[in-house]
Amino acid sequence: MGRTLEITPPERSINLEKQQEAGGVNVEAGAEGTGAKRRGHETSNLEAATHLFKGSVGAGLFAMGDCFKNGGLAGATILLPIIAVMCVHCEQMLIKGSILAVERTPGVDFLDYPETVEKSFEYGPRPLRRMSRFMKLVVEMFLCVTQFGFCAIYFVFITENLYQVFQQNGIDISMSMVMLITLLPAMIPSLMTNLKYISPVSLFANVALLFGLIATLTIAFSDGPMPSLGERHLFTGGSQLALFFGTALFSYEGIALILPLRNSMRKPENFSTRFGVLNSTMFATTALFIFTGFVSYVRWGEDVAGSITLNLVVEDILSQVVKVVAALGVFLGYPIQFFVMIKIIWPPIKRSNECAQKYPITTQVCLRFVMCMMTFGVALVVPQLNLFISLIGALCSTCLAFVIPVLIDFVIQAQVPKGLGVWSYIKNILILTVAVLGIVTGTYQSIVEIIKEFK
């Protein structure tokens, strides 16, 4: 049975509904619930670039100061473009795999990320075909965990900024109590089952985040002479680099937006050309990341926080306004990010649960309540924003951005006699090696640092 989906990408929206509105089109699922057909408004190059930029620049942008602290001024400036190039290359491989899968799937114009993985394995070498459904579930699991992490990180971001404002204005309550205060306002819109009631706030959320960033950097430049570059580390190593990798990947993780945005374009072929939407937007995003991280680390050094808004002097009225507006921007993005997670979890629950089939709305509202409480609980026990970002980036974002696209490329090349040349083999193995090292070291170091915080 077909279904009509709408999409709006605020930061890193991953489900079909969000991605749909991002591209400004409506996508209707195929008769069997696989793939989609494009209809409605088609976006221009500029519109697609704007949506991709919005979807890629979010809470991770405010963590760039911490990213540069862990990578060093020179190290992070060199490594961020390298990571960006790797991300773009893997996104190109995903696009190629999706195009080939669509060509071999009758009646389908578009496949999202999980479906592309499923179809690539389904049409791949015979021994891998039985893994197609499993690989789709793996991708959906990583997407779901990533969204869950985003939601928990949002709670921490909002709480830390509001806590400083409360303390400055004589409201002496604990961090946990501040987080509890934010729970009810965050939960009410999250219980809504229709995206059209939620998505209008995303534009205001992005404006608030952009205002927060500009105001924060303005204050950083105007707060006296900048410290000497010699006072900051140019390079780091070991555990700090592992944390840098996780934060960088978290910030760049927007790969699930690529396919729906490309499909929404009036001229999809312009998306992935040399100077097309993808390359141009990633260049601008990387430049913004480097500028923000460089300035933040030079200004605040080793004291730079997981969100640079936390480094603003609380006594200043403008700084308090910036903290509140940035917290509001993230708060308004929470229900949309939460919507993405539910859209991944809900279908299998509905198919396998008789109660969910009989009382779908009641069951889904209960599920939303439970999941909202779970994100709140995780945020409560892991209050360090920077460590949480590194953990989610190293564990989930690396798999989605690097590992899965490389596996898709291997499967596609294996379908062609002598398709996997020496260069392709070496290149893919190199990407996998970097990804595995990042996953292992980044996840391990993030967990170690989180355990230290508990102690």
347-405 confidence digits (pLDDT tens): 888 888 888 888 888 898 899 999 999 999 888 887 676 777 778 888 888 899 899 99
DSSP 393: I
* pLDDT given for residue 10 in this prediction: 36
**Encoded tokens for 190:** 């999250």
Residues in contact with 177: Cβ distance below 8 Å, sequence separation at least 6, in sequence order? none
C-alpha pair distances (Å), 164 with each of 67, 181, 450, 451: 22, 14, 22, 24
Give phi and psi for 367, each to the nearest 5. -60, -45
Mean pLDDT over the full length of the chain: 81
Calpha distance 389→291 (Å, rounded): 20
Instruction: Give 422's Cβ-side CA count (13 Å radius).
Output: 0
End-to-end CA distance of the chain: 53
- Other beta carbons within 10 angstroms of residue 217's beta carbon come to 16
Q: For the chain, how big is the Rg over CA atoms in Å?
A: 22
Architecture of domain 55-454: Orthogonal Bundle (1.10)
Task: Name the pLDDT band for 203 (thresholds 50, 70, 90).
Answer: low
Neighbour tally for 1: CB within 10 Å: 6
Judged on CB neighbours under 10 Å (0-12, 13-18, 19+), 42 is middle
Tokens representing 445? 């170091």
d(CA 11, CA 61): 10
As a whole number of angstroms, the distance between CA 38 and CA 260 comes to 10
Judged against a pLDDT cut of 50, whether residue 2 lies above it is answered with: no
| Cβ neighbours of residue 109 closer than 8 Å, sequence gap 6 or more | 35, 36, 37, 38, 102, 263
Of the candidates 441, 294, 305, the residue with the CA atom closest to the CA atom of residue 384: 305
Residues 6+ apart with CB under 8 A from 180: none
Which has the minimum average pLDDT: 110-119, 160-169, 190-199, 425-434? 190-199
- Per the structure block, which two tokens stand in for 104? 């071999």
Tell me the C-alpha distance between 74 and 83, whole Å.
Answer: 14
Which span out of 138-147, 206-215, 239-248, 400-409 was modeled with the highest average pLDDT? 400-409
Residue 14: pLDDT band (50, 70, 90) is very low
Q: How far apart are CA 444 and CA 2, in angstroms?
A: 43
Q: Which residue has the higher pLDDT, 10 or 98?
A: 98
Q: How many CB atoms lie within 10 A of CB 420?
A: 16
User: Does 278 score more than 50 pLDDT?
Assistant: yes
User: Mind listing the pLDDT tens digit for each residue in 15-34?
Assistant: 334 343 333 334 333 333 45
Q: How far is C-alpha 120 from the geometric centre of its chain's CA atoms?
A: 24
With beta carbons less than 8 A apart as the criterion, state whether 255 and 401 touch: yes
DSSP 10: S
Per DSSP bridges, beta strands 4-5 and 36-39 are unpaired
- Rounded to an integer, what is the distance from CA 372 to the centroid of its chain? 18
Residue 170 has pLDDT above 70, yes or no: yes
Q: What are phi and psi of 51, to 5 degrees?
A: -65, -40
What pTM does this model have? 0.78
Q: What residues pair up with 29 in beta bridges, in sequence order?
A: 36
Average pLDDT over residues 279-286: 91
pLDDT (tens digit per residue) in 310-333: 888 877 888 899 999 888 887 877
Token couple for 300: 């605040």
Look at residue 269 in the predicted model and tell me its pLDDT: 86
In the chain, where the domains are located: 55-454
State yes or no: pLDDT of 432 exceeds 90: yes
Burial readout 115-149 (b: 16 or more C-beta within 10 A, e: otherwise): bbbbbbbbbbeeebeebbeebbebbbebbbbbbbb
Query: Which of 152, 171, 143 lies closest to 378, judged by CA?
Result: 152
Identify the CA nearest to 232 among candidates 407, 47, 70.
70
What does the alpha-carbon distance between residue 122 and residue 387 come to, in Å, rounded to a whole number? 38
